[in-house]
Each structure stands twice: as structure tokens, then as C-alpha cells.
């Protein structure tokens, strides 16, 4: 190659590299669809059903208890349901009627919300009014996330703690956006709320993100920063792949980490090693080498029906050679297959299991050896309690791709949900299989699966009444995942069995703090309070058990009957007959013929509560079922006594 040709080619490579860098890192435009979604999310986070103003009105409501306020604050500042960027989000204190100008005291959002009802008092519903005036153009922050400023007016209709009335003031909220979930929906998070400063400089127009004329459904152009575990996992994979001379995988994983603000330096070190290693072993330019290697790797993965994974490799191959005109068409074809699988998964997530089974069947007919489709349909069969069909699809998935580790993960979840001694043993085996078959055993992303395996081992021991060994397993699971609320709950249950009420209450309360909607924790917390001191904690125990039943609210849940039955018995013995009637009714509704004895129990409550006509109907229903099954009622003195009283009009 002549010196002239060499210089020309070198400059061409540099120019392409700069174009790629600009394409990846420069400010990008947003589609009309993305822009509309962002503006809608910005308004919803301030004034929607689950919003800042909704939260303030809840905290201001004097009928809500302190524990309910605390739970609501936690739900709004902790993942996954947080509406604030973090606990460090700030707000200019506005609970003093005189604070209507900028430059006043700032508080963390957690401190502000915690003390809110001590500043502000109301006697009317929805006493705080927010009216949005305008939303700024979409800007880009230093952390690469888009954000807007929402300008609004605020009126506290109640009074402060000194009895002073508030006047309307003007505020501005800084709202950031992240694309999350399979549907690539923009989610809004409030970062700060301050008084509007009329003297403030205008927003920097250079940070505004332009809007395209199209309305594309393509993947978001604005990069989404993922969590630390994701980048740690990919850094490990990239480093390992480099040590194994798996250059395509090393390139892919390290490029992912290069997008991280926190781990980019480590990725760059490994990437430099990768390029150095390539230069010493191949004669062609590194970009051309990687283009060929990544494209081939993408093709191999596509042939194995891993379409999203294949698209990642093709995408990086395209970065290495923008002149390859075949890749856009290949990637567009993959998009069709990826979108189909997302639609199937969306139907599953919406609970449309019967329809999803039909759709998965049609997809399988056109893609017979795609193991992911069999796994997806198996998940639907699990929800429909079609165990034989689920097991058959799991078996087909393994048959067509024994290396698809997600099969073992979902198999484990299937067995775990069955909640029996044997099924927990099977679940443990599946999770261990999943971990062992994963290429990188020390991958930090596997820690939750290690914890889930250990939890299933603990549940197997718990079901066998081996509480001491179960305690050890649950503690190991919590060490692997400190927010594992199921393990915390059943660790508490083990201590309940040992009558160590203090320890039981400690762990059950921790489980509830992490997930206030976990029914098992509420139920067993109520049971623990009842056993510890029924006279002292009866009302709280009943409340917790009622909450557990309200959360599951489904007679197909395996706990529905036993929880309703036990709570109804407790309420009847506590002479809370109206409440007991409700839960006995739930037991009857599951299967009147099987649970006919509960007509007698409910009849007793009706009788004790003075509802004699209803009592008579239930006693008649009870006797009808007894006659049908050839059971004598003469041996039941309580029934005979009540019937005598009803017949004599007492």
C-alpha cells in the first residue's frame, strides 16, 4: 500500500470512528411519540392519580394514621414505586404561609414529607391544589437523562399549625425521565421542587433536545443508565471473555460498560487490552476485524433464535463499519421477531393467559425450534394451573436448546409457587441448575438466584418442621439478598414456632417494611401478635390478618380458605359477629357443598347477632347438606339449642 493510500485510509477510519462516536454520544433527537410520552408523564407525576399532589393530600388527611403516612412515604421514595429520583431529592420548604419567594430553606424530600402534617392542617378533602402552567422544552442533563421543568401554581386551602391561611404561590419542579420496561415507557421522577424565581436566567437552549418529524417506535435514542449490578455483571463477562479469547463477546460486554458513568474507566482499560491483543494477532484493521467477528456472532445467535441478543451484536458490528448496507435490513427483520415476542410477553403481563396461549401457539408454528416461545407458553400454563401442559413445554424448551438457562429459572419459579415440601426441593434443584449452567458463576447478577435457591431449601426444611436448619438457610438467603422479604417473613415464622416472639416480630416487621403488600407477612405478623398476648394485641392482630386477606383477594389463592376460616373463628370468639359473617361467607362461596359446615358457623353468628331469619336459612342449608350426605344433626347440641330457640321465637 502506498503512503498516499495509507494516509487516505487512515483518515477514513478516523472519520468513521468520529462519526460513530458522534452518533453514540452526541445529543440525539426525540421522536414525536417520545416527546408526547414525556410531557404526559411530567404532568401525571405532579397531578395524576399517583402523583406529588395526591401524596400531599394523603399526608394532610387527619383520618390517616401515622403508620399509614409512614408506609405511603416509603412507597413513594423507595424503589420500585418511587416518584422521586432518590431520597436526596430536595424541596424548598413551603409550609409557612410567608414563604412565597425563592431562596428559602431546602429540605430532603424524606424530611419534608415526614414532617408535613405537623406544619399543615386541613379539614376538607383534596385541600391542596396544583395547576400546571407550562412545561419547558425537553433538556438533557449532565447524566445524559432528559428532563423538563414543570411550572405550576400551588394553593394550600387549609391552614398552618398557627392557624394562618396560605396564599397561592408559584413553583417549579425539575422532572427527570428514564425509559423502563418491555414497553419502553418513559417514567418520570421528581428531582427538586422550588419556588419560581421571576429573575432567574432562561433555560440553556443548547441543552434542548430537538424533536424529529417522525413518530417512530424504534428503540430510544437517549441512553438509559442501568443499575450497578448490570454494569458489574457485564464488566465481569467482558473481562472473562477476553481471557478466553472470545473477542466478539468481550467487545459486546465491554462496550455496554463503556456507557456507564461509574464503570467506564474499568471498561476502557479492558477494551485497550482487547484492541492490543487483536493488533498483535491479526493483520487487518481492528474495526474491520471486529465488524466481521461481531456480524458472525450475531448470525450464530440469530440461528439459535436469540433475536434481541443477536441484534446487540449486529448493532455493534454496524458501528465498526457504517458502509455495510446489509445490516439495517437484517436488524429490521429481527425487530419484527422481537416485537412479536414483546407482544406475547405483554399479554402474559396483562393476565390474558388464555389469549397468550393461543398467540404463543401460532408463533411456535412459525418458529418451531425457538425455546423461548415454549418457556413463554409454559409460564401461561402455570398461571392457568395446567401443570401437565406447562411441564411438556418446559421439556420441549430443553429439547430444542439445552443451553437456554432461563428454562431452569422459570421451572424453579413454577415449582416454588406450588408451595409444597416436594416442590420446594424441585425448585432448589432448578435454581442450582440455572446457576451452574450460567457461564459466569461469580456473576453479581446471579446473587438473587443464589438467594432464591437458598430460600427454597429453607422452605423445604420449614415444611418438614426442621425449624433450626430452616433458620440457617433463611439467614444465608438474607445475607445474599438483604431485601428478600419472603425469607425475612418465614425466618420470623420459624421463630414463632420456637415461641421467640420478639425475634418473630422483628423479622416480620422488616418484611412488611420492604414490601407492605406481601400478604404472608401481614398474616403471620397478626398470628404472632395473637399468640404473644391476645388480650393486648387482639385488634392489631385482627387488622393484620384482615389486611392479608384483602391483599390476596382471590379464592384461587391456596391460602384463601384457611386464612378466612381462621380469622372468622377468631372474630366469632371475640363476639364480632358481623365481621365473622363476612369471612365465613368467603369460605362458603369457594364450594358450598364441600364447606357446608360453615353454614352452621355463619348461622351461629347470625343468631348471636340477632339476625334470626338469616340464621334460620343457614341452619336449613346446613341440615339439607347433612341429609344429602347422610349425616345426623342430632349429635350437635349447639345446633339443636339454637334451633329450639329459633322455633320458640327467642
pTM for this entry: 0.62
Contacts of 29 (CB under 8 A, 6+ apart): 209, 210, 211, 212, 221
pLDDT(118) > 90 = no
Answer yes or no: do 473 and 598 share one domain.
Answer: yes
Q: Are residues 21 and 48 in the same domain?
A: no
Determine the pLDDT at residue 437: 85
| 283 vs 354: which has the higher pLDDT | 354
Say whether both 14 and 78 belong to one domain: no
Q: Please tell me the distance from the alpha carbon of residue 627 to that of residue 619, in angstroms, as a whole number.
A: 12
Q: Nearest 10 degrees: CA dihedral of 144, 145, 149, 154? A: -140
pLDDT score at 318: 83
> What's the whole-number average pLDDT of the chain?
85
Residue 630 domain-assigned (yes or no): yes
User: Would you say residue 277 has pLDDT above 80?
Assistant: yes
Higher pLDDT, 648 or 526: 526
Within 13 Å of residue 326, how many CA atoms lie on the same side as its CB?
Answer: 7
The CATH number of whichever domain residue 591 belongs to comes to: 1.25.40.10
Whether 186 and 304 share a structural domain: no
Is there a single domain that holds both residue 135 and residue 3? no
For residues 267 and 235, the answer to whether their CB atoms sit within 8 Å is yes
Q: Which domain holds residue 564?
A: 443-647
Residue 606 has pLDDT above 90, yes or no: yes
**What own/partner pairs with CB < 8 Å and gap ≥ 24 does 500-505 have?**
501/528, 501/531, 501/532, 504/528, 505/529, 505/532
Cis-peptide, bond into residue 39, ω within 30° of zero: no
Res. 206: pLDDT tops 70: yes
Tens of pLDDT, residue by residue over 459-513, are 999 999 999 999 999 999 999 999 999 999 999 999 999 999 999 999 999 999 9
Does 211 reside within a domain?
no
* pLDDT of 545 strictly over 90: yes
Name which of 280-294, 300-314, 429-443 the model is least confident about. Answer: 280-294
Task: Pull the grid cell for residue 190.
Answer: 421528581
State whether 49 and 10 are in the same domain: no
In a domain, 314, yes or no: yes
What is the reported pLDDT for 225? 52
Residues 188 and 250 in one domain: no
Q: Which of 324, 339, 367 is the last residue of a domain?
A: 367
Residue 386 within any structural domain of the chain: no
Taken in order 531, 533, 538, 544, is the CA torsion positive or negative?
A: negative
The pLDDT assigned to 29 comes to 74
Domain containing 309 — which CATH number? 1.25.40
Q: At 121, is the pLDDT very low, low, confident or very high (cuts 50, 70, 90)?
A: confident
User: What end-to-end distance do the CA atoms of the chain give, in Å?
Assistant: 113
Which of 501, 419, 503 lies closest to 463 in space, CA to CA?
419
Q: Residue 68: pLDDT above 80?
A: yes
Contact 528, 509 (CB under 8 A): no
Same structural domain for residues 320 and 457?
A: no
- Overall average pLDDT of the 539-567 stretch: 91
Query: Are 172 and 248 in the same domain?
Result: no
Tell me how many domains the chain contains.
4
**Cα–Cα distance, 196 to 134 (Å, whole number):** 12
Q: Are 615 and 601 in contact (CB under 8 A)?
A: no
What's the grid cell of residue 600? 352452621
Q: 452 versus 119: which is more confidently predicted?
A: 452
Could you give the C-alpha distances from 531 to 504, 521, 564, 567, in angstroms and in order? 11, 15, 18, 14
Half-sphere exposure of 275 (CA within 13 A, CB side): 11
The answer to the question of residue 83 being in a domain is yes
Residue 400 contacts residue 393 (beta carbons within 8 Å): no
Residues 6+ apart with CB under 8 A from 55: 72, 73, 76, 83, 113
pLDDT grade for 104, boundaries at 50, 70 and 90: low
Res 115 pLDDT > 50: yes
Query: How high is the pLDDT of residue 125?
Result: 60
Same domain, 469 and 597: yes
Give the residue ranges of DSSP H helices in 465-576: 467-480, 485-497, 501-514, 519-532, 534-552, 560-573
Q: What is the pLDDT of residues 72-103, one digit of tens each?
A: 888 888 877 789 988 888 998 887 787 666 65
Judge whether 188 and 177 are in contact, CB under 8 Å.
yes
Residue 639 lies in a domain: yes
Give me the phi and psi of 483, to 5 degrees please: -100, 20
Indicate whether 167 belongs to any domain.
yes
Tell which of 339, 367, 395 closes a domain.
Answer: 367
From CA 30, how far away is CA 550, in angstroms rounded? 43
Most confident segment among 114-128, 237-251, 481-495 = 481-495
Q: Across 157-260, where does the E strand assignment appear?
A: 159-160, 169-180, 185-195
- State the Cα torsion 321-327-328-332 to the nearest 10°: -150
Looking at residue 208, its pLDDT comes to: 82
Spatial distance between the Cα atoms of 27 and 145, rounded to a whole number of angstroms: 11
Q: Are residues 14 and 42 in the same domain?
A: no
Q: Rounded distance, CA 279 to CA 295, Å?
A: 19
Same structural domain for residues 4 and 36?
no
638 has a pLDDT exceeding 70: no
Which domain-ending residue is among 348, 367, 386? 367
Q: Is residue 422 part of a domain?
A: no
CA–CA distance, 550 with 542 (Å, rounded to integer): 12
Amino acid at each position: 500500500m502506498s503512503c498516499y493510500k495509507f494516509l487516505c485510509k487512515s483518515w477514513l477510519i478516523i472519520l468513521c470512528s468520529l462519526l460513530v462516536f458522534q452518533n453514540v454520544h452526541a445529543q440525539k433527537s426525540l421522536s414525536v411519540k417520545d416527546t408526547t410520552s414525556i410531557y404526559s408523564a411530567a404532568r401525571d407525576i405532579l397531578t395524576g392519580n399517583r402523583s406529588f399532589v395526591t401524596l400531599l393530600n394523603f399526608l394532610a388527611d387527619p383520618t390517616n394514621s401515622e403508620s399509614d403516612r409512614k408506609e405511603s412515604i416509603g412507597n413513594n421514595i423507595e424503589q420500585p414505586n418511587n416518584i422521586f429520583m432518590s431520597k436526596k431529592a430536595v424541596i424548598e420548604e413551603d409550609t409557612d404561609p410567608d414563604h412565597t419567594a425563592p431562596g428559602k430553606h431546602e429540605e430532603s424530600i424524606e424530611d419534608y414529607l415526614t414532617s408535613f402534617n405537623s406544619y399543615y392542617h386541613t379539614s376538607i378533602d383534596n385541600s391542596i391544589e396544583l395547576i400546571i402552567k407550562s412545561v419547558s422544552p425537553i433538556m438533557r442533563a449532565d447524566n445524559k437523562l432528559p428532563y423538563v421543568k414543570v411550572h405550576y401554581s400551588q394553593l394550600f386551602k387549609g391552614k398552618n399549625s398557627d392557624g394562618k391561611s396560605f396564599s397561592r404561590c408559584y413553583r417549579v419542579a425539575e422532572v427527570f425521565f428514564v425509559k423502563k420496561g418491555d414497553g419502553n415507557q418513559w417514567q418520570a421522577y421528581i428531582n427538586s421542587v422550588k419556588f419560581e424565581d421571576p429573575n432567574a436566567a432562561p433555560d440553556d437552549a443548547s441543552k434542548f433536545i430537538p424533536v424529529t418529524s417522525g413518530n417512530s417506535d424504534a428503540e430510544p435514542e437517549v441512553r438509559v443508565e442501568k443499575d450497578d449490578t448490570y454494569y458489574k455483571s457485564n464488566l465481569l463477562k467482558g473481562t472473562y471473555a477476553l481471557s478466553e479469547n472470545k473477542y466478539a463477546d468481550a467487545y459486546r460486554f465491554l462496550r455496554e460498560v463503556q456507557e456507564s458513568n461509574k464503570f467506564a474507566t474499568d471498561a476502557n482499560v479492558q477494551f485497550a487490552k482487547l484492541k492490543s491483543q487483536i493488533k498483535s494477532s491479526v493483520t487487518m484493521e481492528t474495526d474491520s476485524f471486529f465488524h466481521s467477528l461481531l456480524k458472525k456472532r450475531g448470525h450464530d445467535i440469530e440461528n439459535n433464535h436469540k433475536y434481541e441478543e443477536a441484534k446487540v451484536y449486529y448493532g455493534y458490528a454496524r458501528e465498526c463499519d457504517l458502509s455495510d448496507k446489509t445490516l439495517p435490513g437484517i436488524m429490521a427483520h429481527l425487530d419484527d421477531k422481537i416485537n412479536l415476542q414483546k407482544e406475547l410477553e405483554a399479554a402474559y403481563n396483562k393476565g390474558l393467559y388464555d389469549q397468550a396461549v393461543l398467540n404463543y401457539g401460532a408463533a411456535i408454528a412459525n418458529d418451531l425450534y425457538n425455546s423461548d416461545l415454549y418457556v413463554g407458553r409454559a409460564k401461561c400454563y402455570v398461571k392457568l394451573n395446567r401443570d401437565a401442559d406447562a411441564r411438556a413445554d418446559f421439556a420441549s424448551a430443553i429439547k430444542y436448546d439445552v443451553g437456554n438457562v432461563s428454562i431452569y429459572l422459570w421451572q424453579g419459579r413454577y415449582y416454588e409457587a406450588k408451595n409444597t415440601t416436594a416442590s420446594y426441593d424441585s425448585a432448589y434443584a432448578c435454581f442450582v441448575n440455572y446457576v451452574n449452567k450460567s457461564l459466569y458463576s461469580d456473576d453479581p447478577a446471579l446473587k438473587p438466584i443464589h438467594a432464591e435457591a437458598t430460600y427454597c431449601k429453607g422452605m423445604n426444611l420449614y415444611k418438614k418442621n426442621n425449624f433450626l436448619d430452616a433458620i440457617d438457610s433463611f439467614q444465608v438467603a438474607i445475607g445474599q439478598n438483604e431485601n428478600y422479604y419472603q425469607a425475612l417473613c418465614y425466618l420470623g415464622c420459624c421463630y414463632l414456632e420456637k415461641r421467640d416472639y420478639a425475634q418473630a416480630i422483628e423479622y416480620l416487621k422488616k418484611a412488611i417494611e420492604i414490601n407492605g403488600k406481601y400478604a404472608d407477612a401481614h398474616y403471620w405478623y397478626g398470628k404472632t401478635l395473637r399468640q404473644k398476648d391476645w388480650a393486648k394485641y387482639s385488634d392489631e392482630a385482627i387488622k393484620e390478618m384482615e389486611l392479608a386477606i384483602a391483599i390476596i383477594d382471590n379464592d384461587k389463592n391456596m391460602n384463601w380458605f384457611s386464612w378466612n376460616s381462621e380469622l372468622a373463628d377468631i372474630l366469632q370468639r371475640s363476639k364480632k359477629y358481623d365481621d365473622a359473617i363476612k369471612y365465613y361467607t368467603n369460605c362458603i362461596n369457594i364450594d358450598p357443598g364441600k364447606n357446608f359446615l360453615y353454614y352452621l358457623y355463619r348461622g351461629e353468628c347470625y343468631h348471636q347477632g340477632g339476625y334470626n331469619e338469616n340464621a334460620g336459612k343457614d341452619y336449613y342449608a346446613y341440615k339439607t347438606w347433612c341429609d344429602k350426605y347422610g349425616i345426623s344433626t342430632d349429635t350437635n347440641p349447639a345446633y339443636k339449642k339454637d334451633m329450639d330457640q329459633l322455633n320458640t321465637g327467642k
